[in-house]
Amino acid sequence: MPADHPNLSGSYFCIASIYYDLKDYLQAKEHIDKAVGIRKKILPADHPYLEKALGWQKGIYDELGGTIGEG
């Protein structure tokens, strides 16, 4: 299965949420970024699954004290 297979998006999202709950925000960021990247490729911009992932991504970046787009 390729690294950007659509089915992996949900797995990355779930892993990100677990790391978030554990307060391991760097690992959460790594996984939510992968989920968002896949969802941006396969879903329209207004799709609820993409919007949910983007919301989580923002929350993780907020916890890290940064903004989306900063490495």
Instruction: Compute the distance between CA of residue 2 and CA of residue 49 in angstroms, rounded to an integer.
Output: 21
71 pLDDT higher than 60 = no
| Total domains in the fold of the chain | 1
Contact indicator for 20, 28 with CB cutoff of 8 Å: yes
Question: Which range marks the domain in which residue 41 is found?
Answer: 6-63
Confidence band, pLDDT 50/70/90 cuts, at residue 70: low
Residue 1 belongs to some domain of the structure: no
Q: Structure pTM?
A: 0.87
Contact indicator for 31, 16 with CB cutoff of 8 Å: yes
Residue 70 belongs to some domain of the structure: no
Residue 45 belongs to some domain of the structure: yes
Residue 69 belongs to some domain of the structure: no
Q: Give pLDDT tens digits for 20-69.
A: 999 999 999 999 999 999 999 999 999 999 999 999 999 999 999 986 66
Residue 24 belongs to some domain of the structure: yes
Residue 68 belongs to some domain of the structure: no
